[in-house]
Structure 1
């Protein structure tokens, strides 16, 4: 078996059906994105927290490093108007966690989605992906009319169908095992905790557009399994988190590499939105908060001073160590070498499966 070419490759104009997940907050440097794309896969910039100017600068840096397709990912703002509880108790609780860090204002500081998206449109990004909701059909068409492939994120069959109806070109199916924020948007997170192995074939059965498997995939065995379940490709985050080009903090990378199979938990404590992270002192202590955790992005803003302080100190106990359930299989390699190993492992796994027939 000499090729891993699938319909997703045709859609994305890549040689490989592998996507480096768009991990927001710093890991997806232009160097990482370009290295992955140059290796034949699709690099992705996690731009959800970035200002429009920073997005533009990163896109142009990526274009200097590669002439291959790449993606930019943004967060869809919530349509629901959640009542924000009094944040004073949370601010005091966070200060008690580590009195040495300074508090900041409690205003949400996520840049305006419309301004971020305007940059993506103006820069004619090859691939635009999004999570936390649906993009309006007219905006999907606007992006596609400019040559941009549009990819949505679903955690349930119902979400996948809704996204397909809106006109997206492909869908990332995010399993329960995935690291980072859950992309759920049509139901409560508790009702959307479906494992990758169960989610992929059910979504594939309902759709005619490419489905991209995501969640717990760390090596070629996971890629091969996803392809055999009907996925047209895979998206890996935690695998690329520990590569040399990743911008993740060194103690973050070390925590991933030293983690065990049962060391991740789901928590909304870091941002107000459920996310999978490596268990640390913060995830344990935030469970003792007696009140209601403020919703995203308010809680994200409230915890930022503590997380920034932890990064300055190199203290993993208060960092948001987002990672998937397969974190223990991470490999500290250059990104291009990781892509090469993933391809060879996938081919070996598929060949092994064929020999069993």
Structure 2
């Protein structure tokens, strides 16, 4: 296969891969810049980016805004010719201010999921920042396009489709997660393309669809490109790189993971999530023993009186390598990850496999 460029508005990536945003602190400016320097699109996670900044305990809200601006600026300095994006979940309490901060910092593109980002177009108005909602079905893609068209006279600059094999939070029911035949990524790509076609016709332009969730190698990328996607989103494999911002212990959890270690949890976010089972998860979900919770008020759907643990605290601990007090999200194919490589080595390997597709 001839490797296509990934075009999103006036942005052109020579490598048709978007590195998925991974929080807390797994994809920050270090990883995003390394990916962008290789011609793909690097993405900073907008979930609690200030967790390791001075002042986080005293003023979490402002520290997160400052940290997001810092990481965008740093990534742009490290990758001056690259494309830098940020992933900001609609479920976080400071969603609007985080978006405004990212726009002010001149981030190239904002990806937004874990809810419906209906106000996103007005938050980036009169800026050069592109916006791409994250969806799990044609129905959701159609709903967002319909609302953005009606209320903002705007279409998504791109759409990220995350299938049922993705890591982290998932937009599927437990039954759907167990039915990979009917909810395969290739089928979902075709479904989304069909759903957005009327809007593309109305506006006279294509909306690039980037598909992710269980993408492991060049063949997987080739499959979604052949189905009509403009590119692929990949997250799990970028954890096993030297440049990933996670601790060595977090990366080692990926290398050690076996296929039956991957489990679906019920997250305080209110969505199912795919993670690597460990003693922390066993303790929380099997015994359902409530942990000591110091709520940091990060998520709209989370009720600290009912939740078994603070997910932000668990993910921060995991990022730092304290996996006895947290856990690692990961995609369904994490068991196939067996070594740490550089971002350059990984992308070269993927592109060589894609050429042979």
Same fold by TM (over 0.5)? Answer: yes
What displacement does 1:171 show?
Answer: 1.1
> TM-score with structure 1 length normalisation?
0.78
- Rounded to whole Å, the distance in 2 between the matches of 1:308 and 1:111 is 18
What displacement does 1:305 show?
Answer: 5.1
- Rounded to whole Å, the distance in 2 between the matches of 1:9 and 1:246 is 25
- Tell me whether 1:205 sits opposite 2:194 in the alignment: yes
What displacement does 1:11 show?
Answer: 5.3
- Partner residue of 1:322? 329
What displacement does 1:48 show?
Answer: 2.1
- Rounded to whole Å, the distance in 2 between the matches of 1:168 and 1:25 is 26
- Kindly report which structure 2 residues correspond to 1:190-229, keeping only aligned pairs within 5 A, or say none: 190=174, 193=177, 194-208=183-197, 209-229=207-227
Contact 1:14 1:42 in 2 (8 A): yes
- Kindly report which structure 2 residues correspond to 1:260-279, keeping only aligned pairs within 5 A, or say none: 260-269=258-267, 272-279=270-277
- Partner residue of 2:133? 152
Coordinate RMSD, CA, aligned: 2.7
**Distance verdict in 2 for CA 1:348–1:267, change over 3 Å:** same
Match of 1:113 among 88, 95, 107: 95
CA displacement 1:173-196 (0-9 Å, x = unmatched): 1111000112x3xxx744664332
Task: List runs of 5+ in structure 2 lacking aligned partners.
Answer: 50-63, 149-154, 178-182, 198-206, 294-300
- Kindly report which structure 2 residues correspond to 1:276-287, keeping only aligned pairs within 5 A, or say none: 276-287=274-285
Contact 1:45 1:72 in 2 (8 A): yes
- Kindly report which structure 2 residues correspond to 1:343-354, keeping only aligned pairs within 5 A, or say none: 343-349=351-357
- Partner residue of 1:126? 108
- Rounded to whole Å, the distance in 2 between the matches of 1:235 and 1:297 is 31
**Distance verdict in 2 for CA 1:13–1:142, change over 3 Å:** farther
Which range moves more in the overlay, 150-159 or 251-260? 251-260
Contact 1:252 1:321 in 2 (8 A): yes
What displacement does 1:311 show?
Answer: 6.5
Match of 1:171 among 156, 159, 174: 159
What displacement does 1:12 show?
Answer: 3.3
Q: Which structure has the highest helix share of the two?
A: 1
Contact 2:167 2:274 in 1 (8 A): yes
- Rounded to whole Å, the distance in 1 between the matches of 2:114 and 2:323 is 27
- Kindly report which structure 2 residues correspond to 1:333-344, keeping only aligned pairs within 5 A, or say none: 333-344=341-352
Contact 2:110 2:130 in 1 (8 A): yes
What displacement does 1:345 show?
Answer: 0.9
**Distance verdict in 2 for CA 1:158–1:300, change over 3 Å:** farther
Q: Look up the SS of the partner of 1:262 in the other structure.
A: helix
Contact 2:138 2:193 in 1 (8 A): no
- Rounded to whole Å, the distance in 2 between the matches of 1:169 and 1:300 is 38
> TM-score with structure 2 length normalisation?
0.78
Which range moves more in the overlay, 10-19 or 122-131? 10-19
Task: List runs of 5+ in structure 1 lacking aligned partners.
Answer: 78-109, 350-357
CA displacement 1:21-79 (0-9 Å, x = unmatched): 011211112121111111000000011223100001111111110122110110103xx
- Rounded to whole Å, the distance in 1 between the matches of 2:331 and 2:287 is 25
- Partner residue of 1:288? 286
- Partner residue of 2:234? 236
What displacement does 1:261 show?
Answer: 2.6
- Rounded to whole Å, the distance in 1 between the matches of 2:32 and 2:127 is 22
Equivalenced residue count is: 310
